[in-house]
């Protein structure tokens, strides 16, 4: 509507969006690479892929851009397709994206980007950085308090406890997979976790 409504067909502001997105992607790749090299721990089924993409993106040394279409091209090649969400990180790969599959199965359109509101805990694209786990800790703390609130209705307390248990499991797997930490039980291991001998 914005493009066709009210006269002037000047669409150059879309070019600005591409430049803004490129800057955001490069800044994020820089921050992720720095934290990874400083020892940030990453867990989850996509942890290995996360580290691979971050290290590849960190090699970008900069390039002079003179035309907008070069921005689009650079964005396509430099974007590691890593999306930091609320207490989780999506290492986007459409073939294994369960949110995308859910929309496809319902006959709904998808935009080939993560749908965090429909995120599935069993998705192979999930990774958890230490930053994510810090947010998960906060939510776990709040939900544990809600689960013991005697003034709240029983169903709400039960639901809060169930979600707190799920978050606690995520935190536990993350900490067990941390290098030099006790190995996990073989039935409870993530892909990149060291199983008990
Ligand atoms: S389900 Fe979650 S982790 Fe998987 S692709 Fe969608 S947003 Fe990413």
Do residues 78 and 18 touch, judged by C-beta distance below 8 A? no
Task: Report the pLDDT value the prediction gives residue 72, as an integer from 0 to 100.
Answer: 75
Give the whole-angstrom CA distance, residue 190 versus residue 4.
Answer: 50
Q: Which of 101, 122, 125 to mutate to test the pocket of ligand 1 (most atoms within 8 A of CB)?
A: 125
Choose the weakest-confidence range: 15-24, 85-94, 178-187.
178-187
**Distance (Å) from CA 120 to ligand 1 centroid:** 6
Residue ranges covered by each domain of the chain: 13-179
Least confidently predicted of 55-59, 161-165, 184-188: 184-188
Instruction: Considering only residues 14 and 160, tell me which one the structure prediction assigns the higher pLDDT.
Output: 160
Local structure of residue 178 (DSSP, 8 states) = S
In this structure, the residue with its CA closest to atom 2 of ligand 1 is: 119
What is the pTM for the complete model shown?
0.80
Over 149-161, what HEC string results?
Answer: CCCCCHHHHHHHH
pLDDT for the residue 197 = 43
pLDDT in tens, 118-145: 999 999 999 999 999 999 999 999 999 9
- Ligand 1, atom 5: closest residue by C-alpha: 97
pLDDT at 14 over 90: no
pLDDT digits (tens, 9 = 90+) for 62-106: 667 777 677 777 777 778 999 999 999 999 999 999 999 999 998
pLDDT-based confidence at 110, cuts 50/70/90? Answer: confident
By CB neighbour count within 10 A (0-12 exposed, 13-18 middle, 19+ buried), where does 13 fall?
exposed
What is the C-alpha R_g of the chain?
A: 21
Ligand 1, pocket residues at CB < 6 Å: 90, 97-99, 114-116, 119-120, 123, 125-126
Put residue 67 in one of left, alpha, beta given phi > 0 → left and psi -120 to 50 → alpha.
Answer: beta
pLDDT at 166 over 90: yes
Tell me the mean pLDDT in the region 4-9: 60
pLDDT beyond 70 at 163:
yes
CA of 126 to the centre of ligand 1 (A): 6
Pocket perturbation via mutation, ligand 1, pick of 80, 120, 122 by most ligand atoms within 8 A of CB:
120
Return the number of other C-beta atoms located less than 10 Å from residue 21's C-beta: 14
- Residue 194: is its pLDDT beyond 70? no
149 φ/ψ sector (left φ>0, alpha ψ -120 to 50, else beta): beta
Q: How far is the CA of 45 from the centre of ligand 1 (A)?
A: 11
Q: Which of 88, 104, 108, 119 to mutate to test the pocket of ligand 1 (most atoms within 8 A of CB)?
A: 119
- CA of 83, closest atom in ligand 1: 8
At residue 127, φ and ψ (nearest 5 deg) are: -140, 155
Which one-letter DSSP state was computed for residue 168?
Answer: H
């Amino acid at each position: 509507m914005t493009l066709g409504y009210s006269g002037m067909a000047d669409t150059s502001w879309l070019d600005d969006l591409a430049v803004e997105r490129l800057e955001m992607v490069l800044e994020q790749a820089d921050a992720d690479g720095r934290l990874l090299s400083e020892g940030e721990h990453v867990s989850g089924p996509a942890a290995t892929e996360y580290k691979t993409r971050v290290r590849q993106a960190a090699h970008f040394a900069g390039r002079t851009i003179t035309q907008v279409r070069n921005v689009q091209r650079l964005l396509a090649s430099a974007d590691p397709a890593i999306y930091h969400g609320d207490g989780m990180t999506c290492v986007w790969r459409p073939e294994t994206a369960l949110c995308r599959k859910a929309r496809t199965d319902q006959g709904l359109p998808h935009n080939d980007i993560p749908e965090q509101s429909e995120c599935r805990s069993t998705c192979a694209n999930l990774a958890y950085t230490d930053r994510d786990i810090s947010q998960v800790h906060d939510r776990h703390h709040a939900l544990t308090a809600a689960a013991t609130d005697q003034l709240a209705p029983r169903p709400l307390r039960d639901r809060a406890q169930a979600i707190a248990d799920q978050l606690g499991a995520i935190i536990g797997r993350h900490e067990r997979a941390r290098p030099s930490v006790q190995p996990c039980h073989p039935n409870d291991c993530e892909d990149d976790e060291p199983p008990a001998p």
